[in-house]
């Protein structure tokens, strides 16, 4: 059974006033939402089990996911009273399932990616997008064999033929888990101290340390459409894009 972890727990602070009404994954984009769109894409690729993490406006995300999921798709939830981060959520998903999901996908993304083809790639494959601005998102360096070599922060970003933006979509690798678990132990509060649980990044605390120890991670380039909706302006851009391919009424935001 093909599976995916859909990341939908973010606080959506950069959405400004939009977040007062919507979780990021549930923002109306013409005739759809990021959550509905991605669940449809995953269903078309044969994904039958989807785990979704919840935090900001959790009940809105839960209700919409159950409403729009394809018949036969199993939807499971990870409720995060405190945000765990992408790495912490992946660890928790692994703890509950006993194995990794086949895909990790950020639920703020619209794209025309071929998920069926991605599922045929090896684990430790990250989807990159060369057409997006490194100065806006940062990116990842890769070599001529399409092996990832490291991180390009936004502060260092410039046009580079050997770097591209990470799309928030990947085939995770079991080899990342020990590094994430070690980071969890290193960053956890001392017993008795009233501190928040550690927030782990799947890339910074999992993939990059694995690279440092010589483990291979692959870059898979997507040359088609990719757009994320973290700001009001990006929401408007997504609505314009979506309207070009549908007849539904424009949703003003």
Q: For residue 77, give every residue at least 6 positions away whose Cβ sits within 8 Å of its Cβ, in sequence order, or none.
A: 51, 52, 53, 54, 62, 65
At 156 the pLDDT is 72
At 152 the pLDDT is 86
First-last CA distance in the chain: 38
At 189 the pLDDT is 76
At 195 the pLDDT is 58
pLDDT, tens digit, 9 for 90 and up, residues 215-226: 999 999 999 999
Does 236 fall in a domain?
Answer: yes
Does 108 fall in a domain?
Answer: yes
Number of H helices, E strands in the chain: 9, 11
Tell me the whole-structure pTM to 2 decimals. 0.92
Judge residue 48's burial from the number of C-beta atoms within 10 Å of its C-beta, 0-12 exposed, 13-18 middle, 19 or more buried: middle
Residue 241 vs residues 3, 28, 49, 97, 158: alpha-carbon distances, Å: 28, 13, 29, 37, 26
Whether 208 shows a pLDDT value over 70: the answer reads yes
At 242 the pLDDT is 84
Task: Provide the residue range defining the domain that includes 183.
Answer: 2-190+198-243
- Say which CATH number the domain at 232 has: 3.90.550.10
Taking residues 52-70, report their average pLDDT.
Answer: 96
* Residue 15 three-state SS: helix
**b/e per residue 50-64 (b: at least 16 CB within 10 A):** bbbbbbbbbebbbeb
pLDDT, tens digit, 9 for 90 and up, residues 108-166: 999 999 999 999 999 999 999 988 988 888 899 999 999 999 998 877 766 678 999 99
Does 238 fall in a domain?
Answer: yes
Number of structural domains the chain divides into: 1
Taking residues 166-193, report their average pLDDT.
Answer: 90
The H-or-E segment that residue 94 falls in is helix 85-97
Q: For residue 113, give every residue at least 6 positions away whose Cβ sits within 8 Å of its Cβ, in sequence order, or none.
A: 41, 127, 167, 169, 222, 224, 226
Does 253 fall in a domain?
Answer: no
Does 93 fall in a domain?
Answer: yes
Does 252 fall in a domain?
Answer: no
Does 249 fall in a domain?
Answer: no
Does 16 fall in a domain?
Answer: yes
- How high is the mean pLDDT of the chain? 91
Name the phi and psi angles at 90, rounded to 5: -60, -40
């Amino acid at each position: 059974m093909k599976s995916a972890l859909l990341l939908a727990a973010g606080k959506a602070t950069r959405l400004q006033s939009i977040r007062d009404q919507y979780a990021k994954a549930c923002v109306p984009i013409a005739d759809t939402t990021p959550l509905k769109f991605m669940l449809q894409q995953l269903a078309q690729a044969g994904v039958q089990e989807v785990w979704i993490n919840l935090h900001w406006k959790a009940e809105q995300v839960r209700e919409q996911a159950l409403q729009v999921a394809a018949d036969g798709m199993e939807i499971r939830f990870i409720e995060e009273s405190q945000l765990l981060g992408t790495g912490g959520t992946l660890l928790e998903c692994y703890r509950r399932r006993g194995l990794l999901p086949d895909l990790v996908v950020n639920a703020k993304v619209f794209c025309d990616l071929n998920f069926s083809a991605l599922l045929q790639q090896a684990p430790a494959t990250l989807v990159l997008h060369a057409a997006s601005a490194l100065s806006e998102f940062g990116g990842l360096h890769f070599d001529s064999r399409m092996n990832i070599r490291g991180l390009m922060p936004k502060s260092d970003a410039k046009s580079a033929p050997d770097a591209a933006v990470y799309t928030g979509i990947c085939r995770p690798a079991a080899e990342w888990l020990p590094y994430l678990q070690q980071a969890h132990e290193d960053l956890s509060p001392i017993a008795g101290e009233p501190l928040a649980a550690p927030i782990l990044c799947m890339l910074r605390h999992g993939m990059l340390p694995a690279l440092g120890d010589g483990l291979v991670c692959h870059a898979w380039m997507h040359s088609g459409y990719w757009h994320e909706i973290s700001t009001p302006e990006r929401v408007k851009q997504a609505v314009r894009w979506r309207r070009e391919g549908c007849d539904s009424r424009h949703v003003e935001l």
